[in-house]
Amino acid sequence: MAHSDQISSEGPYAQEKASSSDDAVKGYNQEVSSATDNQRPEERQLHRALKSRQISMIAIGGALGTGLIIGTGSGLANGGPASILISYSVMGLCCAAVMAALGEMSTYMPHPRGFAGHATRFVSDEFGVATGWNYLFKYLVVTANNVNAAALVVSYWTDLSGGIWIAIVTVLIIALNFGGPKWFGEVEFWLSLVKIITMTGLIILLLVIDLGGSPTGDRIGFRYFQDGLAFRPYPRTSGDKGRFLGFWSTMVTALFAYTGKGGSEGHGHVKDCK
């Protein structure tokens, strides 16, 4: 009522302006709703078999990768606990902002090519192609890193050559991707659930140890944030420059830890991405 009274009081020009605005919004919404219908036929051949619970677990499980579980060890050694805390906080905020925006775009304007399709639609074809290839190269590197990390973890319990475990994990990954989105989503769901349970248990265990619940009864607390230990100099360096290099190295570690964040790229396989 207030909006109508304001338009009436401003005269015919305001009514015409409001009508034009409404027509523009309506036309844009129609364009958005038919965004995926205008794609080429070969771009619409994705099978929408993933469920909401599966895509949610894929997104959460991607946050719990080698950069967090394994990479934090080298980060603590190179930069110290304060550097790790700041780096992961900064990168986490940046990642949260990007993923929130990407999630809005994926639900408001779904595209079978994921965010590469959004880059094509809103910027240019060249930018969309570059985004897609960049994502491919990222996963070529990250997959190899994850396979190597799996062999590294298993080596703590067996003396077998790491190459054997690398071959086994690689074959399993390839076989899983040949199973289609339904099987892929189900396996990812349970693996991500195992990772979440494991990380929850580790957090509780580390809190107990930190507060003096270990067999030795030693309470660690904030011991390593005191006496100049919060910011460690990078190996083979010293002074303020060394501490800055140590902090900067943890930024790289944190960036890599958040590299696998996703979920929106799979909305082309989701039954109902809304």
Q: Is residue 61 included in any domain, yes or no?
A: yes
Min mean pLDDT across 24-28, 60-64, 220-224 is at 24-28
Q: Is residue 38 included in any domain, yes or no?
A: no
Its pTM stands at 0.69
Q: Phi first, then psi: what are they for 160, rounded to 5°?
A: -65, 155
Q: Which residue has the tokens 């894929």?
A: 58
**Which residue range is the domain that position 73 belongs to?**
54-265
- pLDDT above 70: residue 41: no
- pLDDT above 50: residue 36: no
Q: Is residue 142 included in any domain, yes or no?
A: yes
Which residues lie closer than 8 Å to 214 by C-beta, 6 or more apart? 208
Percent of the chain whose pLDDT exceeds 70: 76
Q: What is the Cα–Cα distance from 5 to 22, expressed in whole angstroms?
A: 17
Q: Is residue 219 included in any domain, yes or no?
A: yes
pLDDT at 164: 92
Question: How many domains in the chain?
Answer: 1
pLDDT at 269: 56
AA identity, residue 182: K
pLDDT tens by residue, 133-190:
988 898 888 888 889 888 888 888 888 888 899 999 999 988 888 877 778 888 888 8
- pLDDT above 90: residue 87: yes
Q: Is residue 212 included in any domain, yes or no?
A: yes
Q: Is residue 133 included in any domain, yes or no?
A: yes
SS3 content of the chain, % helix, strand, coil (to 5): 75, 0, 25
Q: What angle do CA 158, 162, 165 make, to 5 degrees?
A: 85
pLDDT at 29: 45
pLDDT tens by residue, 14-27:
444 444 445 544 44
Which residues lie closer than 8 Å to 181 by C-beta, 6 or more apart? 46, 47, 49, 50, 269
pLDDT at 116: 81
Pair 180, 49: CB distance under 8 Å: yes
User: What's the mean pLDDT when you consider all of the chain?
Assistant: 77
Q: Is residue 221 included in any domain, yes or no?
A: yes
Q: Is residue 272 included in any domain, yes or no?
A: no
- pLDDT above 90: residue 247: yes
- pLDDT above 90: residue 115: no
CA dihedral 237, 145, 198, 54 (to 10 degrees): 140
Mean pLDDT value of segment 205-218: 90
pLDDT at 260: 62
DSSP string, 200-243: HHHHHHHHHHHTT-STT----TTGGGSTT-SSPPPTT--HHHHH
